[in-house]
Chain A
């Protein structure tokens, strides 16, 4: 299957700082990528849909000013957690669609201290 690479795989940051997570589709072009968040022992919650060259579409309850998404090319989408707080600590996963299948990155474990 297609490969989606996510970087970094884990990151620890201080409260109040911003963290950027990258999601790349390595062997296909993805006009649409998705960002999910997962708390321990829970399912994946869709945060936003990232569209190349246009603004992201956020799910209800997700703060767009806190979670900045940039999809600058057909192979790269980034999620920036701004002014991170301990409650933002979570597992973030991206996916890219090579229709009709969706492929997922390995995830990024964010810990805010």
Chain B
């Protein structure tokens, strides 16, 4: 298992705008997952992208993966106030443990 590093640490945007957050990791992965955590709540699994995939969509979410740069990005389109949360990436190397970085705190202003 390894830890992903999210960037930026914090992001503040207006409702309707797009939000982009990035994740970098250090060694080869099998997959990478993104999670959301609303304040004071558990984590919600958003999307999983495998190492042989370059892009994946789920509703307003778009995830890209560039294994050559060891990075991933999460794009939330047409953001809503309800998207306000912390977002974490979790690179998977086949081990069972999920190790989290500091996350990106997204604040969407209504």
Contact = CB atoms under 8 A, between A and B. Distances in A.
Interface of A: 1, 4, 6, 32, 34, 36, 42-44, 46, 49, 91, 93, 95, 97, 99-107, 109
Interface residues of B, number: 22
Question: Which of A6, A97, A99, A101: most chain B CB closer than 10 A?
Answer: A101
Interface in B29-65: 30-31, 33, 35, 40-45, 48
Given A95-B98, A100-B92, A101-B33, A44 B48 contact: no
Contacts of B101: 43
Contacts of A6: 42
Given A44-B43, A46-B98, A49-B96, 15 more contacts: A6-B42, A34-B97, A34-B98, A44-B88, A44-B100, A46-B97, A49-B97, A91-B40, A93-B43, A95-B43, A97-B96, A100-B48, A102-B45, A104-B35, A109-B40
A43 B88 contact: yes
B4 to A, nearest CB: 11
B82 interface: no
Main secondary structure of the interface of A (DSSP, over half): strand
Contacts, number: 53
B100 A101 contact: no
Contact of A104 (B44, B92, B102): B44
Contact of B33 (A4, A44, A102, A105): A102
Interface of B: 30-31, 33, 35, 40-45, 48, 88, 90, 92, 96-103
Contacts of A95: 43, 98
A93 B98 CA distance: 13
